[in-house]
Structure 1
Amino acid sequence: MKSTFFFFILLATLCTVLVPINAAKVAYAYFNHNVTGRYTFIWNEDVMEIVIEIKDGLKYGEKYPYHVHEFAISDDHNCTTAGGHLDPDGFGVEGYVCDPKQKDKCEVGDLSGKYGDLEPKKDGYVYEDIYDYFLKWDGPAGITGRSIVIHLSD
């Protein structure tokens, strides 16, 4: 299975700006190889908002599973370095299928299992705005240092 991988780019600023304690943290995953678009991850206290905007590269009529994977992709873009789906609770055993009605029993990184596959419109455009209570900013369920994967059909 061919996969397209994306890296989380965490932006940090060193300056004298005062930030409220409850301010949202934001990470972007830009991609522009076979697929062009962006994932935006917005962490605000107890929920991760995930805004997915894909401009082209996905085919109308096909469904694309997408997941947060365990590791970042190596500098040489070796896709095998992503590891498996982010699953700190160990739900991804043989025969695993995520039930979207029981998201707390799904792999943390199984976004398509919890919210459905990406399905492009006729022009290839995808827009999704998801609120996930299981992904975190850091730690075992965190996005920091991970990759996002859209599994392509070929």
Structure 2
Amino acid sequence: MFKNIIALVFAAATASASFYVRDTDTDFSMRVEQAMANVTGTGVTGNFTFLPIPGQTGLRVSINVSGLKQGIQYPFHIHVNLMPENGNCTATGGHLDTYGIKTANAAYNCDKTKPLATCEIGDLAGIAGNLTANANGQATLTFNDPIITFGNNKTTILGHSIVVHNPDNTRLACGNIIGFVRKNPSTSGSHTGSSQTESDSDNTGSNTKSSGASSAAMSAALAIMAAAIAL
């Protein structure tokens, strides 16, 4: 019974996600309602989800990474460049630091009580602490980051990537951050903020916005309801 419930929850989440699409129009960053990054590396997989915080600035970050070693601390950051198609995490460049907080002339010390003045925009671990895996090699973490946004070109996470590091700061896994908007913007609340000026190059390619996709999602939802009743 428990396994059936877990399967239904996963299916429901998949159906719900199908109501969101990537977009590339000029006001894309103004309409983003959530962003995701799937990270991969040798034996490591995981996902990062970013959502607005009701009534607050910043974004809520939820993380689930598997394939780690128990008790080891893994830093994680937003990096400047997108991960290329070959999955080379080194190509993602350095940490996102649009305000130049980290310099060669002073020791870097992110103080989460003064994040905008002391932390790199991409230093998620500085705000929340490193990832630490349990006995199953899984690390989960949810926290609010008061700096990052979808819309402001100085603090936006769009068009950048996530990198999970080994304790020695070598790069273990990475993935691109992708923004999503609702298929029907008139039924969703817009996420306000300054428009993004840099290109969100990860969102290239055509986007399917046909009603067929919505119908498929609805059918999936109905199937989930029927299965739940049969339990």
TM-score scaled by structure 1? Answer: 0.78
Q: Tell me: CA distance 1:76–1:61, structure 2 relative to 1, closer, same or farther (3 Å).
A: same
CA distance in 2, matches of 1:131, 1:143: 14
Instruction: Give 1:103 shift.
Output: 1.8
CA distance in 1, matches of 2:52, 2:93: 24
- The one-letter code of the counterpart of 1:53 is N
Aligned Cα root-mean-square deviation (Å): 2.5
Mean CA deviation greater in 23-32 or 110-119:
23-32
Give the aligned partner of residue 50 of structure 2.
41
**Stretches of structure 2 lacking an aligned partner (at least 5 in a row):** 1-19, 24-29, 171-231
CA distance in 1, matches of 2:81, 2:31: 26
Is residue 2:160 matched to residue 1:146? yes
Instruction: Give 1:151 shift.
Output: 0.3
Aligned positions of 1:20-59 closer than 5 A? 25-33=33-41, 34-44=43-53, 46-54=57-65, 56-59=66-69
Larger Rg: 2
Q: Tell me: CA distance 1:66–1:125, structure 2 relative to 1, closer, same or farther (3 Å).
A: same
- Structure with the larger helix share: 2
- Structure with the larger strand share: 1
TM-score scaled by structure 2? Answer: 0.53
CA distance in 2, matches of 1:150, 1:127: 13
114, 119, 125: which one pairs with 1:106? 119
Q: Percent identity?
A: 32
Give the aligned partner of residue 90 of structure 1.
100
SS in 2 for 1:101: coil
Instruction: Give 1:126 shift.
Output: 1.3
| Runs of 4 or more consecutive aligned structure 1 residues displaced over 3 Å after TM superposition | none
